Amino acid sequence: MNTFATAQVIWWLLLGVLLIGLAVMVGMDMGVGAILRYVGRTDVERRVALNIIGPHWDGNQVWFILGGGAIFAAFPLIYATAFSGFYVVMLLLLWTMIMRPIGFEYRSRIDNPAWRNVWDWALVVSGAVPMIIFGAAFGNLFHGVPFHFDWDMTSYYTGSFLALLNPFAVMAGVLSLSLSAMMGSLTVMNGAEGALFQRARALAQVAGLVAMALFAMGGFWVHALPGYQLLSVPGLGVPQTPLQQTVGVGGTWLQNFGAHPLLWLVPLLGFAGMLGAVLAARAARSHLGWWLGAGAWIGVIGSAGAALFPFMLPSSSDPSMSLTVWNSSSSELTLLWMIGFAAVFVPLILWYTSWAFWVMRGKVSEERVVNDEHAY
Amino acid sequence: MINGTVVDLSRIQFAATALYHFLFVPLTLGLSFLLAAMETVYVTTGKPIYKQMAMFWSRLFMINFALGVATGLTMEFQFGTNWSFYSSFVGDIFGAPLAIEGLMAFFMESTFIGLMVFGWQRLSKGQHLAVTWLVALGSNLSALWILVANGFMQNPRGAAFDPITMRMHLTSFQQLIFSPDAQSKFVHTSIAGYVTGAAFVAGVSAFYMLRKRHMDLAKRSFRIAVLFGVLATIGVVTLGDALGFVDAKAQPTKLAAMEGLWRSEPAPMPFNVIAIPEQAEQRNLDAVQVPAVLSLLVTHSLTGTVPAIDTLEKRAERRIENGIPAVEALKALSHDPQDASAMAQFDAHKADLGYGFLVQRYAPRLTQVTPAEIQRAAKDTIPPVAAVFWSFRVMVGLGLLMLAFFVLATLYSLRDRIQKKTWILKVAVWMIPVPFLADEAGWLVAELGRQPWTVYGVLPTWMSASTHSVGYMAFSLIGFVALYSIFIAVEMYLMVRAIRLGPPEHGGGGAEHSRPTLAPRPVPAAPYGTKLEG
């Protein structure tokens, strides 16, 4: 592989890292939002739950923003095609996501049950819907998405909104929601005591078991979906467009696993993480469970990536126009500069994020929430 | 080809959501520095009033910040959802500063903002001060990278079009980030944010002084704000002048529109103070002129000239003629990337590729393009003159108004007589919206003045949009209008309410505005909301 191809693969891996960061960090906040009305029965309980993630949700959300920015910078064709193709879904994702900052910030500013009730529902919706969409978008990649390009690379999406809600995608969406509910529950356990802790503990186990069942189901189901193969390309590490390749459809998406059996460790990590997180929740070891849950996310997203590689956005209406690591990336110069920036700043981000969590460590008490005028 | 209505709807949506987002960003930029300044005074002098100030203004800051973050998400989505051709065409260059913004700036700002709000009891004085400064630094670095991206749209440097991949690719990262347009616009825009923050703090403080409430906090806040404001306003005017100087070279059509300059004239050129530009007739129906001032303003000499619209249209016609063979060659290359003669033709004409795209709007196949079609496309290269001309004058006029206000307010404030000058205090309250209006007008000058291009001289706006249906675009626009209207109503309500409530004045005495500690305290009987009023 030449430098360009290596840079493309590195960015594919980095994108995986950012997506896992998004799933873990945004996923846990979304999970707390989604389960807010279940685990928190009183206003004070809900405020405790919100204040557990209160100092962190803002920083965590940047994983999402950075994920979007990184796709834009490293794989502009994927960013352009996916964001415009999934139009209505993207709007749903956006409209629910923009309720979140406002929900967190404004909910507790007025002491009125109706006001808080509205924002609680907004937080539930803005927690659950984006995680379903996030998973469903991944699920759709296995079916392919109906798009093609003009001579000048104008993209056309020819599918409907409802086609994106096919059964496999819905399953992937619920898997993503249950994993984030599990992580949200573990996060609440980390910071809460008493009844709140116990409800979160029960929910973490249920959500984890549901996630395991769905992940297993997806593993069997994927055998029934036809996979894609690159038949001819201008070459690896050569600047190219999707108009210059041919793609065949047949077999399954598991060929990479057949060729490299060690890859089976990735889904295994997913199962082990989920099972471990469930057991840890049972044993009330929520911090351990959180880390195991993060491992589960690595396994789940890693499995999907490993199955699809080198495809990133397969086209169902014209498979030869599918977007791959090789044909949709930025130029070598951009990729190299961005690798440099990521190499410096991703470790820095992990360092100060860890510091922020360490500073705010410990349980959030009901008294503190009620007395602190800055609390949510 | 993309439907013209879809392009118009996409533009309306972008302008509406960007202008809305830009209501919150400048205040974040300015207020974050003022918070850091107040806290610095607290840490160096140890006077608790400054801590109380930092904490009070940070409550207002957070109300504003939440909407800034929320509406910023929209902007990041929108390039992909509504401007997919633009995104794939220049993503190689444009995406990089956006991603770096996340990596370097927004992550820092957002992570430390959590500690700034929640960390008062957990961090030492020095640590908390560092955190507040990092928030301010993060928000300003954020603006830097966004404006580097915008600078590329205004003056595309460090990039070239690749006929094999059919998109632009980066040729020099240094040229991209050290673009003079990006640099001067970054300073101009972030300082405009400082002015916005200063006017906000001064106005709210004046409101308290007029009502004789929180006098100590209000007087001190007012003084910091107007000092900051006077320096910032001088900076914003200076950098605005520098930006005009840069624009005169890089974007002559924008400058000609800003000045309502229809016909070329010899130096020294007169300046239109006010005028009524009429695009169809290509003249000003009426104008008040000052001789020689335009040459001085934009070229900083009496002998300099800038091209007027008549000259610029002629230039555009020649570039369109030269650009047509480039687009034709590109079509041949898309069918056969090995076509050597097409590549040679492309290389000979590539400098004007964008102008070839421009005429495709009227002659999609580019066979036998008529002179009338070329003239029409050349007329398109002139932005809407009246809108740009007046946005510019509104921005400059409000800027000078603020300068006068801040100078006066600073003089009285430093002599400690401000609380007696009720007329200045009343003016100060009315000055709160002024910088917001100037900010919005500035956005309009920059972005309307760039038309008809998304990337100046390279990619026309009409090609840049996604291939959606009119129905989709109407649906999303209605959705945004509905959602954003609710948001602004809620935000204004909470902001006004928080201002009316004012800073908490409980405690007093030795416990200097005591913070709750980690140790459990009895839950007060009064509910949360009423505690503030006590």
The structure tokens listed for A364 are: 């959030």
The pTM assigned to this predicted structure is: 0.89
CB distance from B137 to chain A under 8 Å?
A: no
- CA nearest A79 in B: which residue? B80
pLDDT tens digits for range B81-137: 999 999 999 999 999 999 999 999 999 999 999 999 888 888 999 999 999 999 999
- Report the chain A residue with the minimal C-alpha distance to residue B513: A373
Chain A contact present for B69, CB below 8 A: yes
Residue B520 has pLDDT above 70, yes or no: no
For residue B516, pLDDT beyond 50: no
In DSSP notation, B213-256 reads -SHHHHHHHHHHHHHHHHHHHHHHHHHHHHHHHHHHHH-HHHHH
* Residue whose entry in the numeric block shows the structure tokens 């690379």: A153
Supply the pLDDT for residue B357.
92
pLDDT at B138 exceeding the cut of 90: yes
**What is the Cα–Cα distance from B196 to B203, expressed in whole angstroms?**
10
pLDDT tens-digit map of A172-231: 999 999 999 999 999 999 999 999 999 999 999 999 999 999 999 999 999 888 999 999
Say yes or no for a CB contact (<8 Å) between B98 and A97.
Answer: no
Interface of B with A in 149-168 (CB under 8 A): 162, 164-167
Predicted-complex ipTM score: 0.90
Cβ atoms of residues A178 and A274 within 8 Å: no
Per-residue pLDDT for B531 more than 50? no
Distances, alpha carbon B251 to alpha carbons A215, B142, B175, B248, in Å: 55, 25, 17, 6
Low-confidence residues of chain A, pLDDT below 50? Answer: none
**DSSP per-residue codes, B429-487:** HHHTHHHHHHHHHHHHHHHHTTTTEEETTTEEHHHHS----HHHHHHHHHHHHHHHHHH
Tell me how many residue pairs between chain A and chain B have CB atoms under 8 A apart. Answer: 282
Chain mean pLDDT for chain B: 88
pLDDT mean over B290-303: 82
| Gap from B393 CA to chain A (nearest CA, Å) | 34
What is the number of residues in chain A? 376
- What percent of chain B is predicted at pLDDT more than 90? 63
pLDDT score recorded for residue B533 = 34
Residue B498: count of CB within 10 angstroms of its CB: 18
Q: Answer yes or no: do B66 and A101 touch at CB < 8 A.
A: yes
- The pLDDT confidence band at residue B367, using thresholds 50, 70 and 90, is confident
The answer for B 205-244 residues in CB contact with A (under 8 A) is none
Is B142's pLDDT higher than 90? yes
Task: Please report which confidence band the pLDDT of residue B506 belongs to, taking 50, 70 and 90 as the band edges.
Answer: low
What DSSP designation does A234 have?
Answer: S
Name the percent of chain B lying above pLDDT 70.
94
| Confidence category of residue B508, pLDDT binned at 50, 70, 90 | very low
Q: How close B203 gets to chain A, by Cα (Å)?
A: 23
Output the pLDDT for position B1: 59
Write out the two tokens for A345. 């700043």
Asked if the Cβ–Cβ distance from A373 to B530 is below 8 Å, we say no
Partner residue facing B99 (CB), from A70, A241, A353: A70
Q: For the residues of B54-67, what is the DSSP string, one character each?
A: HHHHHHHHHHHHHH
B77–A68 C-beta distance less than 8 A? yes
Q: What residues have CB less than 8 Å from B413, skipping those under 6 apart?
A: B219, B222, B223, B226, B227
Tokens coding B192: 């405009």
Per-residue pLDDT tens over the stretch B30-67:
999 999 999 999 999 999 999 999 999 999 999 999 89
What is the rounded average pLDDT of the residues B393-403? Answer: 94
Contact B51, B42 (CB under 8 A): yes
H or E element that contains A292? helix A286-308
Residues of A in contact with B515 (CB under 8 A): 372
Model confidence over B449-491: pLDDT tens digits? 999 999 999 999 999 999 888 989 999 999 999 999 999 999 9
> Out of B65, B84, B91, whose CB is closest to A84?
B84
